[in-house]
Amino acid sequence: MVKILANDGIDPIGEKLLVQAGYQLVVKNFAQDALADEINQNNFNAVLVRSATKITKEIIDKCPGIKLLGRAGVGIDNIDVSHAEKKGITVVNTPNASSRSVAELVFAHLLGMCRFLHESNREMPLSGDTHFKDLKSAFSKGIELKDKTIGIIGFGRIGKEVARMAYALGMHVVAYDRHFKGKVDLELSIHKHKIPFALEIISFPELLQKSDFISIHISTGKGEKSLISEKEFALMKKGVGIVNTSRGGVIDESDLMHAMNNGKVKFAGLDVFENEPEPSMKLLMQPTISVTPHIGASTIEAQARIGEELAKKVIEFFNSK
Ligand code: NAD
């Protein structure tokens, strides 16, 4: 019988699918240092994790019974994938399930920042009762997204979803991706209606120069040189708004603070940070910043889709054996 451990939990939809498929599923959190022994003692064939559990080279070496490793989510940095594959273990993840949630968070940051919600939510509890009129005047020059240009950097699953939502809001959309060029056709799906539209993939410098707002969705970044630092900020329009929900380090944080302080960047929305889970307090304290603690994929709907996508991949894997 197939025995599966979900060490960081699994959404009830995924749990139901795996149990219905006839597998023995154990949803329990074993401590990192006890994990290898528990996997061996319980004869687990598959281990499913979210981001908390690390599947290291040592665990893989100690547990020859593992056939499949599953990551509920996109990034698989917490699994030593190359070592697992060397040992003949299949590794699956759920790259499609969270695009909509991340894209919606981008617009939560953008719409919020355009109307100063990030600052207003900080200031109103402090002095909303005594300085209402001052705050009203400070936050009165909001802007609309409609008819503005959004530049999307990284045109994969999430970048495309952001493009669809931006188009639906009446924005002009341009994109840059190191793997695409030219015109791209997309479709916006609203209820039963399908609305085709097209956009241009342009060069990186052109995107930086043209965009009123920039949203970053590249899949690389960790350990690489920042994609956006002083030189790139210099090319941007004065007063640009920038959102990063991709990976910490893609924007150089000290150059970003400098660009915010000199007015080049009007505001920034960040869900990811260079030094997670202990981001720079200096950065977090910037008044023109809207911040979330890496919650892009963390909606109830995305977690359900992630659980379902993962369970289907597990079932497909064991059915093919
Ligand atoms: P994807 O692989 O579908 O698309 C990424 C695109 O970026 C690809 O088309 C690739 O060609 C392009 N790209 C990569 N490096 C580039 C570079 N240096 N310059 C230009 N283009 C580049 O990925 P996705 O599913 O759309 O995810 C995008 C990012 O969002 C990833 O970094 C992922 O880890 C992150 N993410 C964050 C959250 C969150 O909670 N904030 C949730 C899910 C995904």
| Record: fold of 3-94+300-319 | Rossmann fold (3.40.50)
The DSSP result for 190-228, as a single string, is ETTEEEEEEEEE--HHHHHHH-SEEEE--S--TTSPPSB
3-class state of residue 41 by DSSP: helix
Nearest CA to ligand 1 atom 25: 157
Q: Which of 33, 87, 22, 41 is nearest to 60 (CA)?
A: 87
**pTM assigned to the model:** 0.92
Q: What separation in Å is there between the alpha carbon of 34 and the centre of ligand 1?
A: 33
Asked if the domains 3-94+300-319 and 99-291 are classified in one and the same CATH topology, the answer is yes
pLDDT higher than 90, residue 319: yes
Pocket of ligand 1 from Cβ distances under 6 Å:
74-75, 95, 98, 102, 154-159, 177-179, 217-220, 227, 245-247, 271-272, 294, 296-297
pLDDT of 115-143, one tens digit each?
Answer: 999 999 999 999 999 999 999 999 999 99
Q: What separation in Å is there between the alpha carbon of 235 and the centre of ligand 1?
A: 22
pLDDT of 258-292, one tens digit each?
Answer: 999 999 999 999 999 999 999 999 999 999 999 99
85 is an active site residue = no
Tell me which of 115, 131, 258, 294 is the catalytic residue: 294
Q: What separation in Å is there between the alpha carbon of 175 and the centre of ligand 1?
A: 13
Q: Is the domain defined by 99-291 classed in CATH 3.40.50.720?
A: yes
Q: What separation in Å is there between the alpha carbon of 154 and the centre of ligand 1?
A: 6
Distance of CA 203 to the CA centre of its chain: 23
Integer Cα distance of 203 and 211 in angstroms:
12
Integer Cα distance of 48 and 27 in angstroms:
9
Nearest CA to ligand 1 atom 19: 178
The DSSP call for residue 55 is B
Our mutation pick for probing the ligand 1 site, out of 153, 202, 219, 292, counting the most ligand atoms within 8 A of Cβ, is 219
* CA-224 nearest atom, ligand 1: 18
The DSSP result for 216-275, as a single string, is E--S--TTSPPSBSHHHHHHSPTTEEEEE-S-TTSB-HHHHHHHHHTTSEEEEEES--TT
pLDDT at 6: 97
Percent of the chain with pLDDT over 90: 94
The backbone region for 116, taken as left when phi is positive above 0, alpha when psi lies in -120 to 50, beta otherwise, is left
Phi, psi of 291 (to 5 degrees): -125, 145
Average pLDDT, the chain: 96
Q: What separation in Å is there between the alpha carbon of 105 and the centre of ligand 1?
A: 15
The band of 222, judged by pLDDT with boundaries at 50, 70 and 90, is low
Q: What separation in Å is there between the alpha carbon of 49 and the centre of ligand 1?
A: 21
What is the mean predicted confidence (pLDDT) over 107-113?
A: 98
276 is an active site residue = yes
Q: What ranges do the domains of the chain cover?
A: 3-94+300-319, 99-291
Tell me which of 50, 100, 247, 305 is the catalytic residue: 247
The residue count for the chain: 321
Nearest CA to ligand 1 atom 9: 156
The backbone region for 191, taken as left when phi is positive above 0, alpha when psi lies in -120 to 50, beta otherwise, is left
pLDDT of 141-188, one tens digit each?
Answer: 999 999 999 999 999 999 999 999 999 999 999 999 999 999 999 999
3-class state of residue 112 by DSSP: helix
Integer Cα distance of 262 and 239 in angstroms:
10
247 is an active site residue = yes
pLDDT at 225: 85
* CA-227 nearest atom, ligand 1: 18
The band of 195, judged by pLDDT with boundaries at 50, 70 and 90, is very high
